[in-house]
Amino acid sequence: MTPPLTDERIFEVVRRIPPGHVATYGQIARLVGRPRGARRIGYALHRCPSGLPWHRVINAQGRISLPADSTSGLAQRRRLSEEGIVFISGRIDLDRYGWDDAAN
DNA sequence: CGTGTGACGCGAG
DNA sequence: CCTCGCGCCACAC
């Protein structure tokens, strides 16, 4: 009887991702108690409030899940770069920049 | 109500 | 590396 997962619940977790680090959709899903609800995360982020560090959320392959040529896609990549995150062949090394939520 | 649709994930081939 | 399929969750029609 799990209650409906609200967007706010998701945003709370996203807000905890420290600058210079990234989290995956699946990771956020697990943190809110929906191990297989990764899709739900993307749905919520698509309509997230301003001020939320949405750019720190990427997919499990370390890639940005937005069209590379889209306005938001380019913005995400730029903002991550500004935080010191390095892209290698359009990909982010999760072992290095992945947010270690367990220790937080 | 049934159906479609994602800023997803993961295993197979 | 790539594509296909299926599971998943909430929501718009």
**Looking at the 3D structure of chain A, how many domains does it have?**
1
pLDDT of residue A102: 72
CA atoms of A18 and A39, how far apart (whole Å): 22
pLDDT of residue A1: 66
Please check whether residue A2 lies inside any domain of the structure: no
Please check whether residue A98 lies inside any domain of the structure: no
- Residue A87's beta-bridge partner residues? A92
Which range marks the domain in which residue A46 is found? 7-93
Report CA(A15)–C1'(B9) in Å, whole number.
23
Please check whether residue A104 lies inside any domain of the structure: no
| CATH code of the domain containing A34 | 1.10.10.10
Q: Helix, strand, coil % (nearest 5) of chain A? A: 45, 10, 45
CA atoms of A86 and A96, how far apart (whole Å): 10
**Residues in contact with strand B, defined as Cβ under 7 Å from any of its atoms:** A 24-26, 38-43, 45-46, 48, 54-55, 57, 59-61, 65-66, 72, 76
**Residues in contact with strand C, defined as Cβ under 7 Å from any of its atoms:** A 4-5, 34, 36-40, 43, 89, 91
Average pLDDT by consecutive 10-residue portion of chain A (104 residues)?
86 96 96 93 91 96 94 95 96 95 70
Helix (H) or strand (E) holding A27: helix A25-31
